[in-house]
Each structure stands twice: as structure tokens, then as C-alpha cells.
Amino acid sequence: MAFWWPLLVLAAAYALCRLLLLLIPPTVPSIDVDASDVLEEANQTKEDSFIYIPPRKGKATQSDKVQCYEPATMKYLGFFPALTPDEVKEHVGQARKAQKIWAKSSFKQRRQFLRILLKYILEHQDLICEISSRDTGKTMVDASLGEIMTTCEKITWLLDEGEKWLKPEYRSVGRSMLHKKAKVEFYPLGVIGAIVSWNYPFHNVFNPMLAAIFSGNAAVIKVSEHASWSGCFYFRIIQAALAAVGAPDNLVHIITGFAETGQALVSSIDKIIFVGSPGVGRMIMQRASQTLIPVTLELGGKDAFIVCEDVDLSNVVQVAARAALQSSGQNCAGAERFYVHKDIYSTFVSQVVKIVKSISVGPPLSGRYDMGAICMIEHSEKLQSLVNDAIDKGAEIAGRGSFGNLGEDAVDQFFPPTVLVNVNHTMKIMQEEAFGPILPIMKFSSDEEVVKLANDSKYGLGCAVFSGNQKRAIKIASQLHCGVAAINDFASSYMCQSLPFGGVKDSGFGRFAGVEGLRACCLVKAVVEDRWWPYVKTMIPKPIQYPVSEHGFEFQELLVETLYGLSVWDRLRSLSRIPMPTPGRRADEQIGKSSVQNSVQM
């Protein structure tokens, strides 16, 4: 005991020191980001502040400027240039030069960049959410959930685990390479391009940028023409944080424009991440095929929300409402198809309708509204057409939310949360991505039936399965053809940033987030080296040296059987048949048993 006692004391002292170090906050500098020109009070005093009247479908639009306005009020916010292909190439060229410097940066420097961003986000949540709210029409609560929490979770995961997953990873060497070491190394690809959607402008910019920069790349991100105003402000935060850690200029770029701008970006970079529609995703793939760059596509979904009869309904209905109505339903991982067991169908519908009828819709910064605006022009008309198609085919509206006092500044950019019953799969609302606050609810009778219904979709992004029996819920989810699944919850997988995010079928392919998403920003290189260099080296056995011996194939047969025989006895029997080295030969010409096992490289 006298021997172990000092070791235990040392171990306890070490653990205590580590704990005390954790309690010491890191030194993180603050950054100053000018927001004077984006605050609502300042914007309202501008002489050019007016109500923007966007062109209707079919009318000619201005192609050299991206016009920005508030969807909830149509107040004009300004414009940004639609970059030409040559201008895009110039941005990428600048980023490429900066990346060559940044690739040599330490993980310590990269972590400090993340800490500075995290500190700014925590101290300016209201500003970040207000900018998102004004540019996309979402409420402050929706912005906090979808912009702030998700981004902070990604930053903290990278701080805790990012370096570990980018370090060389050693792998097994197999039987023929016992004298070797095998590993996977991760190097920056170069310039990561991203074309992102408008629904979460802060997170959709930060998500690809964080992975790209932490893995040693540069990033050029084309923001949506529907969220350019906010994206360009968020860029200031990134620039200030990079400058604070001494990063090279031009490491991150935000570019604005339309389809031509995006096409030029795809043709110029080393990898493209796209978040958008399946139709545009196919065009991205076609363009990327010209330069054979890797592609990650996240193309939305039609997620199933399955409720078995043995659930706690009072809890599930609240989750269901949030799953469908978060950000006015403009959520790629939102619940769009509700399947409820027939035994609780009526009760579920009545409780959901009660919640929906209590929801007030209006301009999110003009009062206490539960739900904000629809971001894209004329999308409300598409949503109503989906509802009309369902009604024409036998569905009924079980309940709707109400509009608040929209005021004279607002226009038709709102859609009330709507519950549809008696729906089936002949209706467009159960097949097409709605991207709006509609809850179509359908009955099911058995687990087998609901699995079949849930898989009857061209999309395959995610699902949520609720049951009082967790094993039952897991079994149902395991049979659904999708990329992410939440058991007795909604979208919880995205808040676990160690997990990959992405889908199958028309929801796209490839993954961002998690270990897979981080490593997808890397050149993955397989490396094999000698384990005991220079004492044990690869030597080609004499029978298969050039010119090959007449017994070369016989030797190879015995070698294969020695290495891969089904039993130890089979392998030893084959080993005993391999010719022994002939006395007097040079060591590098011998065919000894040891050289057979340790010195053959195909």
C-alpha cells in the first residue's frame, strides 16, 4: 500500500488541477461591429426609406441589383450588386491566396476565432435576431431557436472536438502489412463554396463557414437574393473576428447575386455545399461535373411526424405545433406530414386545433405575435393552392390561426397556421414540400401501415416518431428511408452537432455538420509507412522479382493461403510448404518465411 499511496495522491492532485483550470475563463477579446446602419431606427430616418413593391411573376426584374426589403412590412432595406462571373472569380482568387496562409494556422488560433465569435453572439443575441427577423419575417423566438442556439452548438462542438477529428486517424493494417502503420490524414481542400437558402440567414452563413475555416480552408458563400441584407451584415462579424486573430485578409467572402453568380461560384471553387430546391440542386450537380468537384446537397424534405396511440398527448401536441410552425413552417427539417394512430386521432386533432387557433400572426417586430411572415413573394398563394387542392379532394380545414392587426405598412405576406384533416396521399399537400405553416393530419391503423405511408415520398430528409414504448418508436424509425431520425422528439439530431445532417432521394446527398461534415471539407489522404524503419523494409521475394520465376505463381498461391487461410492450421500448413532460403544467397534475395510475412507489398 505504501507504493500506491503516492501515486493516488499525485493522480488526485492532477485531477484537481485540471478542474481548477477549467474554472479559469479563457481570455477572449471583444470585437466591435458597426451596426449603426442596420438598426431599425437608423434605417427609418433614411430619405430613401419606402415601401417596396416587388415585380409580380412574369414581369421583368432588374438583374444587376439584388433588392432587399422586409417581408413583414415591405419596407425597403437597400440593394446589393449582382456579381458577374468575372467578379466571382476575382473573389475566389483572393480567397485562394489567403487560404494558402491560413492552411498553416494552428488549431489554437482557429479555436480563438471561434471563441471570439461565440462571445459576440452571446452578447448581441438581440441584434442578430432582429436582423434575421427583419430580413426574413420570423419572430425573435424563432430566430433565437434557429439562428442562435444552432450556431452556438456548432461552435462549442468544434471547440470541444474539432481538432480531435482532424488529427491523423490510425487504422488497422491487415495481415499482409503487419510491418506497416496505416493512417488517414486530413488536409484542407482549398476554397469551399456554399450557396445557402434564406430561411435562417445567420446560421446558414455560419454553418459552412465554421467548418471550412476550422479545417483550414477559405470560404466563399453566396447568400440568397431573399436574405442578402442580413447576410452582408453577418459578414462584418466574421471579418472582425478573423482580424482579431490575425487571419489573412479575404479568407471569407460573401457574394450576392442571382443564378449566374451561383453558377460562376460552382465553376471556380474546390467543393460546393448547396442548400435549396431539388431543381436547382440538379443544375448545381451538372455545373460541378465540369470540374469534378465534390458536392453536398441539402434539398429540403417532407418529414413524417408519427404519433402512436400510447403517447403523452399533452406533450406531443406542443412538440407537433413547434415542429410544423417554427419560422412559419419555413424549415427544411420541419414536420410536413402528420400520421396519428386512429385510436387517438380525434383527441390529437382537437388539441392541436386548440393550439393553432390561439396563434396570432403578424409583423414580428410590431407586437407580440406568435408567428411572422412568409418570406418569399407569392409563396402564400402557393400554400393556399395546396390547401385548395386538398379540399377539392375531400380534406377539411379543422382550424386556423388568426391575423393580428397588420397595419397599413403590411401587405399579403402572411399565411395563417392551418390544420387539415381527412387527407390522403392523392393530395399535393402530402407529396410536395409546402414550406409553410400547414399541418395535414392522417390516420393510421398499424405500425406496418405507417411505415409504408411515411416511405411513400420522393423526399427522405428526416422523421420524428413518438411512442410510449421507446423500442417500438426506434423500430419504426429504423424502417424509414431518411437521413435523420428523432425518437420522441423533433429535430433533436440537429442540436447534436456531432451528428451528420442530410438526406436521401430528392432531399439530396452528402452530409454537413458532425464529424462527416467537417471531414467533408478535407482532402482525405491514406498514408502507409514502415513500422520499424529502417530495420524492417519491404523486399520483393525472389520468385516474383523480374524476371519472374517459373514457380512464381505457385509461390503466390502458398502466400495467399498462408495469409488468409480459414484456420490457423490451414495457414501453418501453407507456410510449411513455402521454400526455405538457400544457404549462401544474399539476404535481400532470400525467400525466408519471415520475409514472406513481413516484406511483400502488392
The C-alpha atoms of residue 394 and residue 242 are separated, in whole angstroms, by: 57
Question: Cβ neighbours of residue 582 under 8 Å, at least 6 residues apart?
Answer: 590
The C-alpha atoms of residue 242 and residue 250 are separated, in whole angstroms, by: 10
The C-alpha atoms of residue 425 and residue 432 are separated, in whole angstroms, by: 10
SS3 content of the chain, % helix, strand, coil (to 5): 45, 20, 40
The C-alpha atoms of residue 501 and residue 496 are separated, in whole angstroms, by: 10
Of the candidate ranges 330-344, 398-412, 480-494, 517-531, the one whose mean pLDDT is the lowest: 398-412
Quick check: 459 and 332 in contact, CB under 8 A? no
pLDDT tens-digit map of 293-308: 999 999 989 999 999 9
pLDDT tens-digit map of 92-129: 999 999 999 999 999 999 999 999 999 999 999 999 99
DSSP 537-569: -----GGGSSSPPTTHHHHHHHHHHHHH-SSHH
β-pair partners for 361: 371, 403
Burial class of residue 104 (count of CB atoms within 10 Å of its CB; 0-12, 13-18, 19+): exposed
pLDDT tens-digit map of 466-502: 999 999 999 999 999 999 999 999 989 999 999 999 9
The C-alpha atoms of residue 206 and residue 150 are separated, in whole angstroms, by: 10
Quick check: 137 and 374 in contact, CB under 8 A? yes
Quick check: 494 and 157 in contact, CB under 8 A? no
Annotation marks residue 163 as catalytic: no
pLDDT tens-digit map of 191-208: 999 999 999 999 999 999
Q: What is the SS3 assignment for 206?
A: helix
Please give the CATH architecture assigned to the domain spanning 82-300+517-526: 3-Layer(aba) Sandwich (3.40)
Give the class (CATH, top level) of 304-481.
alpha beta
Active-site option among 70, 225, 298, 433: 298
Question: Cβ neighbours of residue 363 under 8 Å, at least 6 residues apart?
Answer: 72, 73, 137, 369, 372, 373, 406, 407, 409, 410
What was the pLDDT predicted at 4? 76
**Where would I find the H helices in 149-222?**
150-157, 163-166, 201-214
The C-alpha atoms of residue 135 and residue 198 are separated, in whole angstroms, by: 9
594: pLDDT confidence band, cut at 50, 70 and 90? Answer: very low
β-pair partners for 222: 195, 255
**How far does CA 439 lie from the centroid of its chain?**
25
pLDDT tens-digit map of 552-593: 999 999 999 999 999 999 999 999 998 865 544 443 444 344
In single-letter form, the type of residue at position 207 comes to N
In single-letter form, the type of residue at position 292 comes to L
Structure-model confidence comparison of residues 409 and 498, the more confident one: 498
20: pLDDT confidence band, cut at 50, 70 and 90? Answer: confident
Question: Cβ neighbours of residue 535 under 8 Å, at least 6 residues apart?
Answer: none
In single-letter form, the type of residue at position 376 comes to M
Domain ranges in the chain with CATH number 3.40.605.10: 82-300+517-526
